[in-house]
A and B are shown apart, each in its own frame.
Chain A
């Protein structure tokens, strides 16, 4: 009996201490908040975690987080070198994280805790996320205070990062989609790239079947786990899967036709729906199973790893339902200034001077293309000699300039916070239809699930 009493008392005492401890510590937290940024910066040097390094205290230094040593980090280094022409003391501290999701998770966690102190002055992340971040954590961002040459960018690219007429993001890489074909394979089947330019999807499916029969190659593949095909195909039609902030699937004939094209292609074996990203890149593209690649132009880096196919690729526009030439974009990322930065003016000036079409733009973009293969979405950058040099990989065509030019035609379509959840639901819908379910009821249930998820 005594034991029980004692244990109860002890437990009670403990609860009391903990509660007391918590309430007093919140007071202490406030006092140390000022030092927190400095402390995290110090800690970040030693820790091996995804914590970002925090903002810079120096007037000539900015911090930035990015993830790809072969792609966007060389682009940032190019911008640093270009800006040093203007400000010789300028330094850009680049924190390399292992994947784009590291930056995205860091933003979500900082936003969730309301503690932005670990965010770098500038963060880089994929365009589709900013909508959600702007809604959820509006006070985490600062608009650019210096105007860049916005006319040089496509409406689509700017539509992501412009809110209430203010520019929050500076686009870095071009997301313009390419549809690349293997000319040698098409030739075997009796076609040229022109036969695949400006055609309807219906004709594409027919011709793809011929290619498949004569050569054994499929004509398209996609990572079905994060299926970007429906999004890009809709954009090529100038349409979105969203309307007035609601999913626009039921009763949307364009959407239904596009799903039917994908399902038909999958059943014919002309479209390979890979189970995951590495199967998509390693096995279908590098593994030489497909004679066509349709994705954001960053996929070229993957295509180049199949060395035997070098020189045999050609780029063209996207088929549409009506047969007009289609343009779309997928991926691409932008730089955003966080509210943790004490040097928003410097950061804005830096971004406008380099990526934004200022005096350092051509130097930045040329070096970014040479060192990281980053293709600009700033139109005038495509006019440089470097961009117009023939590209051996594409049989001597100046593919980089072609891509920049294509990027300026991409129509802006409605974006939404729930881009990724919808993508997943549309992917599941396609799987279910391929497995024999009724397309209308599947579209209905995808729409219902999406509306359910958005109604909280």
Chain B
């Protein structure tokens, strides 16, 4: 009895020993900068000689009057509300289709859907930009098909610029989420479906009453990751539209970049405060999704 406990303790000690380097690195590389960023968010002035803000939380109070940040916040939440549901529903449907055992070339299709994910964010944003340029491929194709009479300024019009960003995001991330759903689907016993079939459930019913509930943990996880990712959206806003026209497609992270390095302003104190506000938003939204997804009473 005594001996087994000491072995257990030894194993635990080994476990902690293995965990320690990673934990230490995460602390030094992630958490320590976060603490420093928080300190910086209470300061102002050029980065070489930062002074404490008066009053101390002025950078945070400033946000209330910052029209541009509020605009970028509305933009980001609009991307979130439109893009995430479309993307997750598409991903789950694609996963369902590609999980079909009778489908030919299943592997090839899966690879194709996942492929966009292997492309770097900047490259795909630049490709989308050239596709949707005023003299770009999309306009040329639409023109030759006779669908439009003159070139559409996709990236220079607010509504279409936002739409292009959303289309880009869906193209880039659907395959990524699909992989999680595919993995989740592997864990559902085939016999459950067989039983449902014997009971006379049709395709939709099996999907809605079996697949979705059993995939719930995966759905919650992908939702949190997507919310987190969308709130920190940066590359598309910078590279595809550069926030334009008139900042109406700019995201919060892009605005933070403009406040720090982007326009040579070097307002690092305020930029850090904005970063913390996003951090809090992500925290709250993740907490809500966790609570919604939690089935334990």
Q: Is the CB of A114 within 8 A of B135?
A: no
B65 at the interface (CB under 8 A from A): yes
| Inter-chain contacts of A111 with B (CB < 8 A) | 46-48, 266
Instruction: List 11 interface pairs A-B (beta carbons < 8 Å), by A numbering.
Output: A108-B266, A112-B268, A114-B48, A136-B266, A137-B46, A225-B242, A225-B244, A273-B156, A275-B156, A421-B263, A424-B247
Q: How far is the CA of A111 from the CA of B268 in the complex (A)?
A: 12
Known A18-B24, A108-B261, A135-B46: A275·B244 in contact at CB below 8 Å = yes
B7 at the interface (CB under 8 A from A): no
Partner of B48, one of A112, A428, A432, A435: A112
Known A10-B16, A421-B263: A18·B27 in contact at CB below 8 Å = yes
Q: Is the CB of A14 within 8 A of B23?
A: yes
Partner of A452, one of B12, B28, B65, B269: B65
| Inter-chain contacts of B66 with A (CB < 8 A) | 452
Q: How far is the CA of A283 from the CA of B68 in the complex (A)?
A: 30
Partner of B24, one of A3, A14, A22: A14
Report the contact-size class of chain B (Cβ under 8 Å from the partner). Answer: 35 or more
Taking the closest CB of chain B, its distance from the CB of A321, in whole angstroms, is: 25
B237 at the interface (CB under 8 A from A): no
Taking the closest CB of chain A, its distance from the CB of B52, in whole angstroms, is: 12
Partner of A275, one of B20, B27, B133, B258: B133
Q: How far is the CA of A431 from the CA of B28 in the complex (A)?
A: 45
A287 at the interface (CB under 8 A from B): yes
Q: How far is the CA of A452 from the CA of B261 in the complex (A)?
A: 18
Q: Is the CB of A132 within 8 A of B265?
A: yes
Bits for B51-66, please: 1 = Cβ < 8 Å to A, else 0.
0000000000010011
A23 at the interface (CB under 8 A from B): no
Taking the closest CB of chain A, its distance from the CB of B50, in whole angstroms, is: 9
Q: How far is the CA of A14 from the CA of B32 in the complex (A)?
A: 12
| Smallest Cβ-Cβ distance to A419: which chain B residue | B264
Residues of B83-119 contacting chain A, CB below 8 A: none
| Smallest Cβ-Cβ distance to A137: which chain B residue | B48
Q: Is the CB of A18 within 8 A of B46?
A: no
A305 at the interface (CB under 8 A from B): no
A90 at the interface (CB under 8 A from B): no
B153 at the interface (CB under 8 A from A): yes
Q: A-B pairs with the 9 shortest C-beta distances?
A: A112-B47, A136-B46, A428-B246, A431-B246, A420-B263, A275-B156, A431-B245, A275-B155, A283-B135
Q: Is the CB of A287 within 8 A of B27?
A: no
Known A279-B134, A449-B67, A456-B270: A427·B48 in contact at CB below 8 Å = no
B267 at the interface (CB under 8 A from A): yes
Residues of B11-26 contacting chain A, CB below 8 A: 12, 16, 20, 23-24
| Inter-chain contacts of A135 with B (CB < 8 A) | 46
Partner of A421, one of B133, B134, B244, B265: B265
Q: Is the CB of B269 within 8 A of A456?
A: yes
Q: How far is the CA of A129 from the CA of B265 in the complex (A)?
A: 9
Q: Is the CB of B134 within 8 A of A112?
A: no
| Inter-chain contacts of A432 with B (CB < 8 A) | 246
A145 at the interface (CB under 8 A from B): no
Bits for B119-131, please: 1 = Cβ < 8 Å to A, else 0.
0000000000100
Q: Is the CB of B266 within 8 A of A14?
A: no
Known contacts A418-B265, A456-B267; 12 further A-B pairs (Cβ under 8 A): A14-B20, A14-B27, A105-B261, A108-B266, A129-B264, A135-B46, A136-B47, A224-B244, A225-B244, A276-B244, A453-B265, A456-B44
Q: How far is the CA of A150 from the CA of B156 in the complex (A)?
A: 44
| Inter-chain contacts of A274 with B (CB < 8 A) | 134
| Inter-chain contacts of B27 with A (CB < 8 A) | 14-15, 18
A96 at the interface (CB under 8 A from B): no
Q: Is the CB of B266 within 8 A of A112?
A: yes
A260 at the interface (CB under 8 A from B): no
Q: How far is the CA of A144 from the CA of B246 in the complex (A)?
A: 41
A162 at the interface (CB under 8 A from B): no
| Smallest Cβ-Cβ distance to B130: which chain A residue | A278
| Inter-chain contacts of B135 with A (CB < 8 A) | 279, 283, 287
| Inter-chain contacts of A202 with B (CB < 8 A) | none
Bits for B167-202, please: 1 = Cβ < 8 Å to A, else 0.
000000000000000000000000000000000000
A155 at the interface (CB under 8 A from B): no
| Inter-chain contacts of A427 with B (CB < 8 A) | 246
Q: How far is the CA of A274 from the CA of B133 in the complex (A)?
A: 10
| Inter-chain contacts of B261 with A (CB < 8 A) | 105, 108
A104 at the interface (CB under 8 A from B): yes
Known A18-B24, A428-B246, A452-B66: A132·B133 in contact at CB below 8 Å = no
| Smallest Cβ-Cβ distance to B50: which chain A residue | A112
| Inter-chain contacts of A139 with B (CB < 8 A) | 48
Q: How far is the CA of A456 from the CA of B66 in the complex (A)?
A: 12
| Inter-chain contacts of B68 with A (CB < 8 A) | 449
Q: How far is the CA of A18 from the CA of B45 in the complex (A)?
A: 29
| Smallest Cβ-Cβ distance to A138: which chain B residue | B48
| Inter-chain contacts of A105 with B (CB < 8 A) | 261
Q: Count chain B CB atoms within 10 A of each CB in A10, A105, A112 and give the residue with the most.
A: A112
Residues of A375-397 contacting chain B, CB below 8 A: none
Bits for A419-450, please: 1 = Cβ < 8 Å to B, else 0.
01100100111011001000000000100110
Q: Count chain A CB atoms within 10 A of each CB in B12, B65, B68 and give the residue with the most.
A: B68
Q: How far is the CA of A276 from the CA of B67 in the complex (A)?
A: 24
| Inter-chain contacts of B246 with A (CB < 8 A) | 427-429, 431-432, 435
| Smallest Cβ-Cβ distance to A420: which chain B residue | B263
| Smallest Cβ-Cβ distance to B24: which chain A residue | A14
Q: How far is the CA of A267 from the CA of B263 in the complex (A)?
A: 29
| Smallest Cβ-Cβ distance to A276: which chain B residue | B242
Residues of A96-131 contacting chain B, CB below 8 A: 104-105, 108, 111-114, 129
Q: Is the CB of B263 within 8 A of A275?
A: no
Known A18-B24, A105-B261: A279·B16 in contact at CB below 8 Å = no
Q: How far is the CA of A225 from the CA of B27 in the complex (A)?
A: 40
| Smallest Cβ-Cβ distance to A114: which chain B residue | B48
| Inter-chain contacts of B46 with A (CB < 8 A) | 111, 135-137
Taking the closest CB of chain B, its distance from the CB of A252, in whole angstroms, is: 20
| Smallest Cβ-Cβ distance to A113: which chain B residue | B47
Bits for A34-65, please: 1 = Cβ < 8 Å to B, else 0.
00000000000000000000000000000000
Q: Is the CB of A420 within 8 A of B264?
A: yes
Q: Is the CB of B266 within 8 A of A132?
A: yes
Taking the closest CB of chain A, its distance from the CB of B36, in whole angstroms, is: 10
Q: How far is the CA of A332 from the CA of B167 in the complex (A)?
A: 39
Q: How far is the CA of A22 from the CA of B134 in the complex (A)?
A: 53
Q: How far is the CA of A402 from the CA of B89 in the complex (A)?
A: 64
